[in-house]
Amino acid sequence: MTEREISDFLKEQYSIYPKMLLQDFFKGLFQSVYGCEHLVSDEKQGLLKLREEAEGNVPIRENYIEPLGDIYCRAHLWAVKSGKLSAKTLFNLFFLSASPPSTDAREELKKGLKVLTDLSEGELPGLSRDDIIGKARQWEEQGFKPLHHSEEFREAYRPAYRVIKRSFVKYLPILEKMDKLLKTKEKLTVAIEGGSATGKSTLGEALAKLYEANLFHADDYFLQPYQRTEQRLNEAGGNMDRERFSGEILAGISSGGDFNYRPFDCSKQIISEPVFVRANPINIIEGAYSMHPEMKGNYDLKVFLKVSEETAKKRIEKRNSPEMQRRFFNEWIPMEQKYFKAFSIEENCDIVIINE
């Protein structure tokens, strides 16, 4: 964060929690840089503790996300208490957000303490500049160890939250919907649609980790050479081997048992050896053309991701050779747009996410 952003963050914290003490400012700055205070060593106990905490006297927070700078945020347990998220989902968000600090985390924290010092006795009444300097020096000598909230803060606000990465926040509508569906459904199949470079694979991988789900990629079903006829390529949504996808992936999921599928190897232009898949009640499918009318009836939840043309262009240029870029812009993206328009794909999805 810039010094201006840190200043705005600290003032926002004070406006939310006017009874917070210096210790609580320190804790907020620590969380904004380091996120979770420690790596989770026992997942089972961590989930149990979260469940027990959520069953207690949790403050009402309809907007249960509280930003902590530009990387982390607090996800208040009202999300679980109110039934918006399951305890397991929130715990997994917390667990996946726990990671070693960045190499410049210590310097970022010291920058935050400097901004806090500059704000004292002016825009943050009740804080002494000398007190901040002295206690910050003592805290640094102790290695900036994690702090608890002050007794005054806990008594006034009954904090109950977990720190998660802000990158998950834009996906919360999807997680809330999945958790709602899972209350009444034993099996759940989710499709993620969208154009090139909209983040479908990233979201698919995140959902697979959060829900311990199977993940399948539409890109594993490129057309085989003999299928690439002029007629097929001119067909809206024709640029995918949906026949094999339906017969292998969708049929396999529907069977409820273990199954095999065979990805197409683009480098060799052949179908690969079978991949074994263990049966799973939750299955995620990501990729353009997965919502083709011949297949969309197989999904319980349909998600569409979109970004601006400028963002998509930058992402494609960053991760592809000039030749591949040309194919994206001149071939594949126009084919995707033709398909989206022909079948009103975005309009037929349950959730649309702007994934900038």
What are the tens digits of pLDDT across the range 301-323?
999 999 999 999 999 999 999 99
Whether 175 is in a domain gets the answer no
Give CA 41 to chain center in angstroms. Answer: 22
The CATH code of the domain that includes 308 is: 3.40.50.300
351, 304 in Cβ contact below 8 A? yes
Locus of tokens 């909230």: 149
Token pair for residue 252? Answer: 């396999």
> Using only C-alpha atoms, what is the Rg of the chain?
24
Rounded distance between C-alpha atoms, residue 59 and residue 82, angstroms: 11
Q: Residue 213 gets which letter from DSSP?
A: -
Average pLDDT of the residues in 245-266:
97
Whether 24 is in a domain gets the answer yes
* Closest CA relative to residue 79, chosen from 204, 176, 220: 176
Count: domains in the chain: 2
Shared-domain flag, residues 132 and 207:
no
Containing domain of residue 206, as a range?
Answer: 185-354
332, 196 in Cβ contact below 8 A? yes
Q: What is the pLDDT of residues 13-63, one digit of tens each?
A: 999 999 999 999 999 999 999 998 666 778 999 999 999 999 999 999 999
Rounded distance between C-alpha atoms, residue 58 and residue 158, angstroms: 7
124, 14 in Cβ contact below 8 A? yes
Whether 242 is in a domain gets the answer yes
Shared-domain flag, residues 156 and 280:
no
Q: For 104-127, give the DSSP string.
A: THHHHHHHHHHHHHHHBTTTBTT-
Shared-domain flag, residues 271 and 143:
no
**pLDDT computed for residue 262 by the predictor:** 98
Average pLDDT of the residues in 156-182:
98
**pLDDT computed for residue 38 by the predictor:** 66
Strands 351-354 and 188-194: unpaired
Rounded distance between C-alpha atoms, residue 249 and residue 189, angstroms: 11
| Distant-in-sequence, close-in-space partners of 280: CB < 8 Å, separation ≥ 6 | 212, 213, 214
285, 299 in Cβ contact below 8 A? yes
Whether 205 is in a domain gets the answer yes
Residue type, 333: I
**pLDDT computed for residue 37 by the predictor:** 67
299, 190 in Cβ contact below 8 A? yes
Rounded distance between C-alpha atoms, residue 107 and residue 84, angstroms: 37
Q: What is the pLDDT of residues 76-119, one digit of tens each?
A: 999 999 999 999 999 999 999 988 878 889 999 999 999 999 99
Shared-domain flag, residues 222 and 250:
yes
Shared-domain flag, residues 204 and 138:
no
